[in-house]
Amino acid sequence: MEISPSLLNNVLIPIVKALVIVNVMAVMSGVLTIIERRSLAFLQVRKGPNRVGWEGSLQWVADTVKLLFKEDVVPEKAEHLIHYLAPVLVVVPALTVFAVIPWGPEMTFRVPGIGKITTGAYATDLNVGLLFILAVTSIGIYGIILAGWASNSKYALLGGLRSAAQLISYEVPMGFAVVSVILMSRSLSLVEIIEAQRRMHLWFVFPGLLAFFLYFLSGVAETNRVPFDLPEAESELVAGFHTEYSGIKWSFFFLGEYANMVTVSAIATTLFFGGWLRPFPNVAALSFLDLIPGIVWFLAKIFVFMLVYIWFRGTFPRYRFDQLMDLGWKTLIPLALVNLVVIAIAALGGTRGLQILAWILCGGFALAVVVVTRTRSRKAARAARPVTPVEVRA
Amino acid sequence: MSAPAGIGEPEPPPDDHTLLGLREMELNFGPQHPSTHGVLRIILKVDGERIVSARPEIGYLHRGTEKLFETETYPMVIPHTDRLDYVAAATNNHAYCLTVEKMLGLEVPKKAQYIRVLLDEMQRISSHLLWLATAGIDLGAMTPFFYTFREREVILDLFEEYCGARLTLHCMRIGGLLEDLTPGWIQKVRDFTVPFEARIDEYEDLLTENRIWKLRTIGVGVLNAARCVEMGVTGPPLRAAGLAWDVRRAIPYEVYPELDFEIPVGKNADTYDRYLVRMAELRQSRRIVLQCCDWLEKNPEGPIRGKTPRVIKPPVGEAYAAVEAPKGELGFYLVSNGTNKPYRLHVRPPSFINLQALPEMAKGHLVSDLVAVIGTIDIVLGEVDR
């Protein structure tokens, strides 16, 4: 049977790719939970789950099965339809975003009966991919707000409100950080952004050092992770917006959170760390690194970001609501604006201008790290503790 | 007498101090809540997230302990005291025994005194570690919890080896102690205590200079020294306000006058200073433990119990004695009618009295700060409700 090329390219391949991506991502979120729990346990001198499967590697399967069979409790006075809809609103956008994330470069492989197929390791390459991502991820927050509102619980309501405020505050610096990448790459397509980094011999993290920090911080805030996990702050709001959720509906929020973490990491990788490119993509001496496929590079970079997320969780206390807003509006947004202007000026000079900026920024950063570690050691901090014991004899 | 508000009367006008004339929301905080440290219930009036008023509701753990005391003979009371502040049983035992000994005019042998002080200070360390763990996790700092529990576990193991119990120790008796130290126990205490200094540094590295930790604690829940004194607040909250009041020095008992230690004080009376004071107290307690170990190694022989009468019948009268418990001044007020049971035994629980300050400390702060304030008072509901 002959399959027409248009049917193949416009229907079959996209469907297969969509299926693969959605399922792989859903599974990956599960796998991430076990990675997170084990890494966190490592940070916290404990073992973490180590019973189900090899070293606990199947714990997430057991958890999922348990959640599927758990009773779904809905508060009597909840807004039932919206209560039902909210988790869907969280998960669907979180998975939709993966459509435009470029996992790897174009690949050619042979399918029996059809022939050679050349296709990118991404569902689609939208020419406004970045805008699409920003737009779709923002929808997810409706799920959280509506969950908080529909639960008819005060704790959930407070969680939902916090979430709304948080999203608005951090969407802005995130947007500015992304715009600075667009200035450098002159494209909104994620594939094109990666190609631009190859052309310029430059990962955008170097000229966009500040933009990267701003992006990642805002990303952590938008995914409601420590230290910005206020919407669900366990010790304050019990569980925040998902207090009144149970069973598989609850796990949808969980899935959404992990999917969003992957998204943020993937976009950070794409925008700032050359996506699927190996380090120094234009240095021929390192060409043996090409033996590792692009997808692996991409996933490895994502994995590093995930570890940073977990590291944050093990280290930081939680911000307070007003402090979070202060950080967003009074620190990140001004910084983002300054950064935007600097990058715009450097981008006028084309590749050369960006490279000069990269050298200046990275040199300055390295210098700052050296100075700070020299002058503010832990020992010095210990010596300068404000409370001095006072001898009192009765 | 004013007539009660009945049907048909107009609704009272809405409070106008909030936007759009909306009234505050009432929020039930507890008794089942992750960070009320037990069954404390706080009725909050919040305006958005800002606390307009906070009213603690207690009594969910009331067991009638003080009434129960009256039905037990004097030695039988001791295990009940374990269950007051159940994370610091040694100091509870100690305060009760001191009171009865004061009534009887009993002399406690030196060795028993040193062991008591040693147990007290180990208990203080374990209680402060528990405090640090829970106060940290209240503010979202998860990791200190596991670090402190690692060390607390060692202390509990040591207690277990000494008296068979980990929490409800029942380790002291009127006139001294029941059991002498097990062989090699002192060395084990030393093995734990000497490197403990580095462990404290580890906790402090995580929190003391942490920007977020400072943001969350500095200026939160301020209670100045004058208000502390008015309300009878004692312990770290009082010392963080700059007043160096510590029962171990102010009303010395046992061998504390012979020991070399300092009383850390803060000056800003906020949550951060209370944190610093408790961290400094960990170091001081460590010093005391080491001094006790030194003395006990030099003097391994000696009685551990004074001339306690077979049947304890204090003379008719009253007595009050207090110790510096980890949470503040823990006192027992005993009224005796000459029988073998207390006529009345009143507890002065530091948790309960410190908890009074909660509404004042929380007012005007955000809901997030409320958990910081609850954490910083360091309450144990077993002691609050009795």
Give B38 to chain A, closest Cα distance, Å.
13
Tell whether the model's pLDDT for residue B329 goes beyond 70. Answer: yes
Top residue of A377, A382, A387 to mutate, by most chain B CBs within 10 Å, is A387
Burial class, B61, CB count within 10 angstroms (exposed 0-12 / middle 13-18 / buried 19+): middle
Contacts of B140 in chain A (CB under 8 A): 226-227, 229, 233, 235, 316-318
Name beta bridge partners: B321.
Answer: B332
Average pLDDT over residues B195-206: 86
Contact B23/A at CB under 8 A: no
Q: What is the pLDDT of residues B208-251, one digit of tens each?
A: 888 888 888 888 888 888 888 888 899 899 988 888 888 888 88
CB contact under 8 A, B141 and A230: no
Tokens standing for B175?
Answer: 């006139």
The DSSP element (H or E) to which B26 belongs, if any, is strand B25-29
Distance CA A322, CA B228 (A): 28
Tell whether the model's pLDDT for residue B259 goes beyond 50. Answer: yes
pLDDT at site A389: 47
Contact in structure between B230 and B183 (CB atoms under 8 Å)? no
| Count of helices and strands (H, E) across chain B | 16, 9
Distance CA A245, CA A259 (A): 19
CB-closest option in A158, A320, A385 to B216: A320
Contact B362/A at CB under 8 A: no
Distance CA B348, CA B189 (A): 31
Q: What are the boundaries of each domain within chain B?
A: 25-56, 64-385
Tell whether the model's pLDDT for residue B11 goes beyond 70. Answer: no
Per-residue pLDDT of chain A (394 residues; tens, 9 = 90+): 567 777 777 787 788 888 888 888 878 888 888 888 888 888 888 888 888 888 888 888 888 888 888 888 888 888 888 888 888 888 888 888 888 888 877 777 777 777 777 777 777 777 888 888 888 888 888 888 888 888 888 888 888 888 888 888 888 888 888 888 888 888 888 888 888 888 877 788 778 888 888 899 888 888 888 788 777 766 777 777 888 888 888 888 888 888 888 888 888 988 888 878 877 777 777 777 777 777 888 888 888 988 898 888 888 888 888 888 888 888 888 988 998 888 888 888 777 777 787 788 888 888 888 888 777 666 666 665 554 544 443 3
Window 274-303 of B, Cβ < 8 Å to A:
276-277, 280, 284
According to CATH, the superfamily of the domain at B64-385 is Cytochrome-c3 Hydrogenase, chain B (1.10.645.10)
Contact B43/A at CB under 8 A: no
Average pLDDT over residues B192-196: 90
DSSP track, A78-117: S-HHHHHHHHHHHHHHHHHGGGT---EEEEEEEETTTEEE
CB contact under 8 A, A44 and B142: yes
CB contact under 8 A, B265 and A387: yes
Distance CA A147, CA A159 (A): 9
Distance CA A203, CA A182 (A): 13
Distance CA A312, CA A227 (A): 7
Window 45-84 of B, Cβ < 8 Å to A:
49
* Minimum Cα–Cα distance from B265: chain A residue: A389
Tokens standing for B361?
Answer: 């400390």
CB-closest option in B207, B210, B266 to A387: B266
* DSSP-H helix ranges across chain B: 65-69, 74-82, 89-104, 110-138, 143-163, 185-193, 196-207, 211-217, 225-231, 236-240, 247-250, 271-298, 350-355, 358-362, 367-377, 381-385
Tell whether the model's pLDDT for residue B5 goes beyond 60. Answer: no
Number of residues that make up chain B = 386
pLDDT at site B189: 92
Cα–Cα distances in Å, from A204 out to A173, A184, A262, B9, B204? 17, 8, 20, 69, 37
Contacts of A319 in chain B (CB under 8 A): 212, 215-216
CB contact under 8 A, B33 and A238: yes
Contact in structure between B89 and B82 (CB atoms under 8 Å)? yes
pTM of the predicted model as reported, rounded to 2 decimal places = 0.86
Contacts of B249 in chain A (CB under 8 A): 392-394
Cα–Cα distances in Å, from B314 out to B321, B335, B336? 15, 9, 7
Distance CA B77, CA B57 (A): 27
**Listed range (A343-352, B7-16, B147-156) with the worst mean pLDDT:** B7-16
pLDDT at site B6: 45
B96 pLDDT band, cuts 50/70/90, is very high
Q: What are the boundaries of each domain within chain A?
A: 5-381
Contacts of A310 in chain B (CB under 8 A): none
CB contact under 8 A, B276 and A230: no
B21 pLDDT band, cuts 50/70/90, is low
pLDDT at site A117: 74
Name beta bridge partners: B366.
Answer: B50
Top residue of A37, A309, A316 to mutate, by most chain B CBs within 10 Å, is A316
pLDDT at site A76: 83
Contacts of A391 in chain B (CB under 8 A): 262-263
Contact B252/A at CB under 8 A: yes
The pLDDT mean for chain B works out to: 86
Contacts of B205 in chain A (CB under 8 A): 378
Contact in structure between B315 and B339 (CB atoms under 8 Å)? no
Tell whether the model's pLDDT for residue B26 goes beyond 60. Answer: yes
Distance CA A297, CA A273 (A): 10
pLDDT at site A384: 57
Cα–Cα distances in Å, from A140 out to A25, A129, B54? 17, 17, 34
Contacts of A238 in chain B (CB under 8 A): 33-34
CB contact under 8 A, B262 and A389: yes
Tokens standing for A65?
Answer: 């099965």
With tokens 């030695």, the residue in question is B75
CB contact under 8 A, B265 and A378: no
Window 318-347 of B, Cβ < 8 Å to A:
none
Cα–Cα distances in Å, from B147 out to A34, A43, A108, A204, B217? 22, 10, 52, 39, 20
Calculated CA dihedral for residues A126, A130, A134, A140, nearest 10 degrees: 50
Burial class, B272, CB count within 10 angstroms (exposed 0-12 / middle 13-18 / buried 19+): buried
Tell whether the model's pLDDT for residue B257 goes beyond 60. Answer: yes
CB contact under 8 A, B215 and A320: yes
Tell whether the model's pLDDT for residue B20 goes beyond 60. Answer: no
Contacts of B367 in chain A (CB under 8 A): 158, 236-237
Cα–Cα distances in Å, from A190 out to A9, A262, A390, B384? 20, 16, 62, 60
